[in-house]
Structure 1
Amino acid sequence: MSLSSLIGPQIPFLRRYARALSGSQASGDAYVSALLEALLTDTSVFNRDAEPREEIYRLFSRLWNAMPINSEPGETKEANLTDRRLEAITPLPRQAFLLTAVEGFDAESAARVLGVEPAELERLVAAAGREIGAQVASTVAIIEDEPLIAMDLETLVESLGHKVVGMARTRAEAVTLARATRPGLVLADIRLADGSSGLDAVNEILESMGVPVIFITAYPESLLTGHKPEPAFLISKPFRAETVKAIVSQALFFNEMARPAQRRSA
């Protein structure tokens, strides 16, 4: 298979990634063009035995990180709010965040792209989460019937700079809490203390407010049926702390209804 047929399908996605890193379309495309020119000069640097998308991102990351100018957060006056927030994240954590949250690489693939160990990749994603939390600090409601798990979630959320406004153990408590506090994010279990449903609680909450929701459940199969709308953010129990931190940051960062946007329109 020719090199062009291997990398051609990846270019639109690589341009998206490059634009997010650089803060502008022109700059991002220039970096992608530089990579393609380098490949035309020496095709041997492309490992044909590797997964093509992972390999082209790996080569791009090597090119990007070799430039001293990219070792510091940038600033693009013309960038929109999302671009400016991305630029404010420290460079390597920004790359780790984009690779996993936007480009869809799993942790092992993202680690290979950046040339780091998986543990270091987790550290970078966690660092991005903390920096995002400082930008989009929000309020969080926790719907969870197991006290120890609820307290663990509270600790994780607050470590990112967010404030937990309350915890609920039943559907009725959850709806009352949400209506009273109007949180910027909801973390919800599926099966609650009195046999009620966290899913029903969330659906009732969403009738009166727009808020991102992360389901954290031991029964993900109850939501991933393929026959109805499925949640954008789902974490399986038992969960890992870094997974929760990363998903919380993603949900707040990319949701247009997050509290910072509400404040701007107030």
Structure 2
Amino acid sequence: MPVTDLAQSVARELPFLRRYARALTGNQAAGDNYAAATLEAILSDRDLMRDDETRIALFRTFHAIWQSSGQPVATDTPDPREAAAQARLKQLTPNSREALLLHTIEGLRFDQIARIMDCDLPEAEGLVRIAHDEMSRAITGKVMVIEDETIIAMDLKGIVQAMGHDVTGIARTHGAAIDLAGQERPDLILADIQLADGSSGIDAVNELLATLDDLPVIFITAFPERLLTGDRPEPAFLISKPYSEGNVRSAVSQAMFFASTEGMKI
């Protein structure tokens, strides 16, 4: 593949690699360090992109670096909560969480996951099943839903409750979100970007985080690439619309592991 075509192809997939990296580490800086290391490896050896599918080759290169390091890239100011989260993550079956994220957040097929993780198809399928089981038993808490579409809001509520979490309520506007959080402090926020009265879910979350200290946040949007530009702080957990139940379950499980809002204020 010509250098120009390769660069354009990688650029199209990079926002999704960065999303995966941040979900995996729970930290924007650490995730971006891994993404940068992946690009450096590709620049040094173009044979790493020999796969016909750019996304598969890019994620396979990332995974090789991730496996060789064994843990997220350290930041200058380590957060004790992140350290605790990493300790919990180390108790999970190796590679299971990675496989789960690739399948549910990035939407990759089991055969694609097997190529990325250099394993066979049954192993890839098994790792996803194991991850679902292990993470569903990990942590439960109180979840606030900020979503203006009633059907979607009720669907999200049902998924979250089925996972064993309590839902503190559903807010359709910025103001309603502030009021709801004042009644009962959530442990996690699940927020749409655009709300009923034209207000911003992002603005609502930022205002809440300013008063509630650090909370994990999951944003939902039909246009994730608009938030994954690298030009400003970005959400660590981001679900694309239309979503599946697996998307939500995986993101909620991942977010509950991390109590830092590093990279969530945008």
Q: Is the 8 A contact 1:214 1:233 kept in 2?
A: yes
Counterparts of 1:227 and 1:95, CA distance in 2: 30
Change (3 A) 1:81 1:200: closer
Q: Which residue of 2 aligns with 1:144?
A: 147
Tell me by how many angstroms 1:128 deviates: 2.2
Per-residue CA distance 1:129-172 (angstroms, 9 max, x = gap) = 44323221111000000111011111221222211111100000
Q: In structure 1, give the amino acid aligned to 2:121.
A: V
- Determine which structure has greater relative contact order: mean sequence separation of CA pairs < 8 Å that are 6+ residues apart, divided by chain length: 2
User: Superposed, which structure 2 residues align to 1:109-188 within 5 Å?
Assistant: 109-112=112-115, 113=117, 114-116=119-121, 121=125, 124-125=127-128, 127-188=130-191
User: Superposed, which structure 2 residues align to 1:1-266 within 5 Å?
Assistant: 54=60, 82=85, 85-86=88-89, 89=92, 91=93, 95-99=95-99, 101=101, 107-108=108-109, 109-112=112-115, 113=117, 114-116=119-121, 121=125, 124-125=127-128, 127-209=130-212, 210-256=214-260
Q: In structure 2, give the amino acid aligned to 1:138.
A: G
- Number of aligned residue pairs: 186
Unaligned 5+ runs, structure 1 = 1-48, 62-79, 258-266
Tell me by how many angstroms 1:217 deviates: 1.5
Unaligned 5+ runs, structure 2 = 1-49, 52-56, 68-82, 262-266
Q: Is the 8 A contact 2:142 2:165 kept in 1?
A: yes
Tell me by how many angstroms 1:81 deviates: 5.0
Per-residue CA distance 1:161-191 (angstroms, 9 max, x = gap) = 2111111000001111122211111010111
Change (3 A) 1:159 1:111: farther
Paired residue secondary structure (1:186): strand
Q: In structure 2, give the amino acid aligned to 1:251.
A: A
Q: RMSD of the TM alignment (CA)?
A: 3.7
Q: Is the 8 A contact 1:142 1:187 kept in 2?
A: yes
Give the alignment's TM-score, normalised by structure 1.
0.57
Per-residue CA distance 1:223-259 (angstroms, 9 max, x = gap) = 23432211111111111221221111111113357xx
Change (3 A) 1:143 1:130: farther
Q: Which residue of 2 aligns with 1:31?
A: none
Q: Which residue of 2 aligns with 1:23?
A: none
Change (3 A) 1:81 1:228: closer
Counterparts of 2:101 and 2:241, CA distance in 1: 20
Counterparts of 1:106 and 1:238, CA distance in 2: 12
Which structure would you say has the larger Rg? 1
Paired residue secondary structure (1:232): coil
Q: Which residue of 2 aligns with 1:3?
A: none
Tell me by how many angstroms 1:117 deviates: 5.6
Q: What percentage of aligned pairs have identical amino acids?
A: 43
Change (3 A) 1:227 1:130: same
Counterparts of 1:52 and 1:184, CA distance in 2: 34
Tell me by how many angstroms 1:82 deviates: 4.3
Q: Is the 8 A contact 1:150 1:167 kept in 2?
A: yes
Change (3 A) 1:224 1:88: closer
Tell me by how many angstroms 1:206 deviates: 0.8
Q: Which residue of 2 aligns with 1:42?
A: none
Q: In structure 2, give the amino acid aligned to 1:171.
A: H
Counterparts of 1:211 and 1:52, CA distance in 2: 31
